[in-house]
């Protein structure tokens, strides 16, 4: 479907799977913001309602990435859709727990589980 400098984007039927290709650290702020805008524009034009974020290629993300995840979720939920995370590292899971964002989205052990969660 598309690729940015920090994300691979693919379709899995009626779901868009977004895979960060590098840790989303704060010093990558400009790159994260630019890539996030490309993804948000793409999702807006495609009318996507279901998104899976697959973190199998990363170990960490910071607050800029969390802001992007929230913007993405607002776009998806405004359309009555769902979003789920999968393959998160222990550090990534801890960030979600500390910020209490782990209660917003399903955190799944595999991509298949996440696809089922957003379709459910």
pLDDT in tens, 52-80: 999 999 999 988 889 889 988 998 888 88
pTM: 0.89
What is the reported pLDDT for 98? 94
- What does the alpha-carbon distance between residue 61 and residue 22 come to, in Å, rounded to a whole number? 9
* Strands of 5-120, DSSP E: 7-12, 15-20, 50-54, 82-86, 107-108
Percent of the chain with pLDDT over 70: 92
Q: How many C-beta neighbours within 10 Å does residue 36 have?
A: 21
Over residues 81-93, the mean pLDDT reads: 96
């Amino acid at each position: 479907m598309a690729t940015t400098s920090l994300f691979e984007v693919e379709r899995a039927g009626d779901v868009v799977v977004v895979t960060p290709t590098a840790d989303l650290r704060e010093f990558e702020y400009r790159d994260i913001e630019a890539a996030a805008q490309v993804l948000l524009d793409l999702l807006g034009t495609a009318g996507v309602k279901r998104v899976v974020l697959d973190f199998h290629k990363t170990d960490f993300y910071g607050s800029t990435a969390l802001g992007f995840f929230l913007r993405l979720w607002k776009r998806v939920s405004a359309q009555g859709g769902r979003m789920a995370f999968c393959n998160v590292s222990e550090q990534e899971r801890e960030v979600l727990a500390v910020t209490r964002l782990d209660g917003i989205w399903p955190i799944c052990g595999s991509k298949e589980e996440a696809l089922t969660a957003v379709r459910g």
